[in-house]
Amino acid sequence: MDKKRILLIDDEEGMCRMMEAVLLDSGYAVKSYTRSVEAVDAFQAGLFDLAVTDIKMPEMDGLTVLQRLKEKDPGLPVIVISAFATLDTSIQALRRGAHDMVTKPFEPDELLYRVKNALHHNQLLAENRELREELAGRFDFSKIVGSSKALMNVLETVKKIAIRDTSVLITGDSGTGKELIAQALHYNSPRRDKKYLAINCGALPESVLEGELFGYKKGAFTGANESRKGLLEEADGGTLFLDEVGNLPLNVQKLLLRFLQEQEFRRIGDNTSIKVNVRIVSATNADLLEGCRSGEFREDLYYRLNVLNIHLPPLRERPEDISLLAAHFIKLQNEKFATQIKGLTPEAAHALASYDWPGNIRQLRNVIEASMAMEDSDYLTLPVLSQFIDIQSGASGQDAVPVTAVPWAEDYAESLARFEMEYLKQLLQKAKGNIEAAAKSAGMNMATIYRKIKKYDLNKEDY
């Protein structure tokens, strides 16, 4: 396990050396400074797990040091030390983000106790944060598999408009991953801590759909034995995803339009309006403008839903993503069924890259899952693959991606790691080595950039 890294700042050299020795003896990695200005100037986010600073120091006092450190790394726990711990000083330190305060003189055991407590508390916060990220992790940009320019353009658009609290219409063929993009919009928006709910507008009859969306009052119809909230009310503060929105019945379209205009609605059988704050994200594989022309879809609703538009290209237009997606699905199936399929043979990989994939990502996933159920060797082979797709008639008119684009002897994690490293290099090259600019461009924090530089052992000459 890596040693916890502690930044130590105290202008009294004897006290500084004593604390350094105590912490080093307890297995911590320590960087100590007797000049506060020098320590703050050298500090970079992500390099330390904890900071310990004296308050009364020349040049820059400990409260200012605390503020500067927290500005650079908001998640860093800081312990302040003072021989004059007045109530006012304590309040100021806590307001500026101090985790704890130690009063001089103190015993080494007390220092160690406070340090261990701060590190443990921060570890619990990190684990809690990681758990939340894990729960929503499959909706994060980095979890959307692919490296094609077409997909990167889509994700760049998603990143820009996720924070814009307005309606979004996602268009694209069936199976292109429209709901995954809707989830990415929600979990990368200010609404991420509220509910994300979804409904397939083409899967329910009109009477049921209206009740699901708007809810109903007790006694509104036969069988309504109690009042029930609809999805709009349940999603208050969050996001509601309307899949296959082109299949909405005209009556429900009218009610939805009123909600989008007024941000309020009525449950079935109720005369009281309910006001909620919900972002509507919708998706369709149909031509809604054609539906407007034919009278099947309200034009005024179309423009309310389509304030911002994201179009997902079909898989045949991003063939370079096929290999990464296939590796991803193989990994998932291996984990689910404890199998050991290592990848595809070159012939099978070439067939995947050459196929048109009319069912897009959904079809690719199903083919991989079916092929793995039938395969007896360590690699998916062409004879097995050809049981599930028509290799001869399915060839694309585009040039296939070379089989060498992804070395299939590698597992998914290795392939993704290499892609991430190359992405990081290009990101840093574009930012001319400026970590802060690179982090801002990628929508990441600086600590993450530093960790990945360390993870891949990158040097300045690499970027």
Check residue 63 and give its pLDDT.
Answer: 92
- Measured between alpha carbons, how far is 55 from 53 in angstroms, rounded to an integer? 6
Band (397; pLDDT cuts 50, 70, 90): very low
Closest CA to 31 of 63, 60, 7: 7
How many CB atoms are located within 10 Å of the residue 42 CB? 11
Last residue of a domain, one of 298, 313, 328: 313
pLDDT score for 223: 78
Are residues 170 and 222 both part of a single domain? yes
Q: 237 and 298 share a domain?
A: yes
Are residues 152 and 54 part of one domain? no
Last residue of a domain, one of 93, 108, 135: 135
Domain that holds residue 422: 415-462
Start-to-end Cα distance in the chain: 29
Contact assessment for residue 302 and residue 288, using Cβ atoms and an 8 Å cutoff:
yes
From 66-70, 87-91, 119-123, 147-151, the region with the lowest mean pLDDT:
87-91
How much of the chain exceeds pLDDT 70, in percent? 87
- Return the number of other C-beta atoms located less than 10 Å from residue 83's C-beta: 13
Phi-psi region at 351: left, alpha or beta (left = phi > 0; alpha = psi -120 to 50): alpha
What residues form DSSP beta bridges with 279?
239
Spatial distance between the Cα atoms of 103 and 364, rounded to a whole number of angstroms? 63
Cβ(33)–Cβ(8) under 8 Å?
Answer: yes
Tell me the average pLDDT across 258-280: 94
Question: Once rounded to an integer, what is the mean pLDDT over residues 180-199?
Answer: 91
Split at pLDDT 50, 70, 90, the class of 445 is low
Among 154-163, 237-246, 439-448, the least confident range = 439-448
- Confidence (pLDDT) at 430: 83
Task: Give the model's pLDDT for residue 313.
Answer: 94
Same domain, 222 and 349: no
pLDDT of residue 443: 65
Q: Mean pLDDT, to the nearest integer, of 4-13?
A: 94
How much is the pLDDT for 265? 95
CATH code: domain of residue 420: 1.10.10.60
pLDDT reading at 133 higher than 60: no
pLDDT of residue 208: 86
Average pLDDT of 112-131? Answer: 79
> Could you give the CA distance from residue 252 to residue 317 in angstroms, rounded to a whole number?
35
CATH of the domain at 371: 1.10.8.60
Res 369: pLDDT: 93
Band the pLDDT of 3: cuts 50, 70, 90. confident
Residue from 26, 236, 4, 35 nearest 113 by CA: 26
- Looking at the fold, whether 285 and 192 belong to one and the same domain comes out as yes
Mean of the per-residue pLDDT values of the chain: 85
Look at residue 95 in the predicted model and tell me its pLDDT: 79
Q: Measured over all CA atoms, what is the biggest interatomic distance in the chain, rounded to whole angstroms? A: 84
The tally of domains found in the chain comes to: 4
Q: If you average pLDDT over residues 31-45, what whole number do you get?
A: 94
Residues 70, 25 within the same domain: yes
Same domain, 355 and 250: no
Place of tokens 């960790």: 451
Q: What is the pLDDT of residues 299-310, one digit of tens each?
A: 999 999 999 999
User: Given pLDDT bands bounded at 50, 70 and 90, which one contains residue 78?
Assistant: very high
Instruction: Work out the average pLDDT over 317-330.
Output: 90
**In a shared domain, residues 394 and 431:** no
- Please indicate, yes or no, whether residues 250 and 337 belong to a single structural domain of this protein: no
Torsion-angle region of residue 360: left (phi > 0), alpha (psi -120 to 50) or beta?
left
- Distance in angstroms (rounded) separating the CA atoms of residues 264 and 276: 6
Please tell me whether residues 182 and 117 are part of one structural domain: no
Q: Report, as an integer, the average pLDDT of 310-315.
A: 94
Confidence (pLDDT) at 140: 54
CA–CA separation, 77 vs 115, rounded Å?
A: 10
Same domain, 36 and 93: yes
pLDDT tops 90 at residue 27? yes
Domain boundary among 254, 284, 313: 313
- Is the alpha carbon torsion for 161, 163, 164, 168 positive or negative? positive
- Residue 124 is predicted with a pLDDT of 76
Query: Residue 123 phi/psi, 5° resolution?
Result: -65, -40
Q: From residue 164, give the alpha-carbon distance in Å to each of 160, 186, 189, 279, 411.
A: 8, 11, 8, 10, 38
Give the residue-averaged pLDDT of 189-194. Answer: 91
pTM: 0.58
Q: Are residues 128 and 163 in the same domain?
A: no
**Quick check: 330 pLDDT over 70?**
yes
- Supply the CATH number for residue 194's domain: 3.40.50.300
